[in-house]
Structure 1
């Protein structure tokens, strides 16, 4: 295949199927989390863990095998936000996580998602290393809140780090978007 030829990738590929599975697991996770008892709590943890692993796996498969699609570019961040957002909201409803933490994280995530949609026609800002650290910290913090018996200080330290990195990477994303827009304007001669 030459550089000018574009390979058409079906949206029905393993990476996108994993993304859809992650999205479909969100209601099961929520259901398990709200049921009383350690067994249900551990079931919620298992569902959350499987869904979180699909996040890493779908991206890896898409990049490695050239399975990147427009559907995946849109559905993957939505599935990510649905999973972490559901976890944070549920933990706040259960009075295990302060609402301000949920608000800060979800505010950043929704704001950056909106910014991505606004920029999607011009360019895609690639995920930064900080964004990957943010995701790992958020997942780790949520896991620590789901697991019964974890000392509060451990939960707070990891969640505090997740909040700080979430805010800092959000600000970095906005700065990169502004620079990208400026470069795009210059390229168009505006």
Structure 2
């Protein structure tokens, strides 16, 4: 279970409370904000590489497939809720994105007996945009830099909603097709390249 890919995933999960603590210890102090950004950035980077490492070296495990999407959702959700509490991200954004994540998870459970909905480029783009925007939002930015952060976050929300709607359509199609298990191109919540197949790491991520 403790291969390099799973260690990276566990590291991401452990960094979630570290990030939150750094953010709230000194919410208006540049040093603590930079420390929180560093924790978030390291966690986001592990999201980009753990799945690729697992597949490349044959380290795919059931533990990794289960814990990885949990770690991803925990990281994004913690950042959104924390920044909303600090009045730095509108609660409407947090409700939409977190609601979308919960909805996709429930849909996946609904169709799991009929087949696997694999990762899509849209989902990977959503994860990338949210990670970039939330990381920037943690930094003490002002002026044009803050505007860029807001623009990237808006793009991430749009992609999140679009891929969520697409997920519903594909889930319904899979249910109608039923018969034998199948795999449809679908959207991931996880980092690029993490759900390439039904047996791959994070194939059940969304």
Global fold match (TM > 0.5) = yes
- Cα offset for 1:126? 1.1
- Where do 1:42-53 residues align within 5 Å? 42-53=34-45
Counterpart position of 2:176: 182
> Is the Cα–Cα contact under 8 Å of residues 97 and 157 in structure 2 kept in the other structure?
yes
Residue of 161, 164, 174 corresponding to 1:167: 161
Counterpart position of 1:117: 109
Unaligned 5+ residue runs, structure 1?
A: 1-10
Q: Distance in 1 between matches of 2:6 and 2:68?
A: 8
Q: Distance in 2 between matches of 1:54 and 1:99?
A: 27
TM-score normalised per structure 1: 0.87
Q: Bigger radius of gyration, 1 or 2?
A: 1
Q: Secondary structure at the match of 1:56?
A: helix
Q: What is the number of residues matched between the two proteins? A: 177
Counterpart position of 1:23: 13
Q: Give the aligned CA root-mean-square deviation in angstroms.
A: 1.5
Cα distance change, pair 12–118 in 1 and its aligned pair in 2 (3 A): farther
More helix by share: 1
- Where do 1:95-134 residues align within 5 Å? 95-134=87-126
Q: Distance in 1 between matches of 2:107 and 2:60?
A: 20
Per-residue displacement from partner, 1:150-185 (whole Å, max 9, x unpaired)?
A: 434222211110110000011111111111122224
Greater relative contact order (Cα < 8 A, sep 6+): 2
Unaligned 5+ residue runs, structure 2?
A: 182-206
TM-score normalised per structure 2: 0.81
Runs of 4+ off more than 4 Å: none
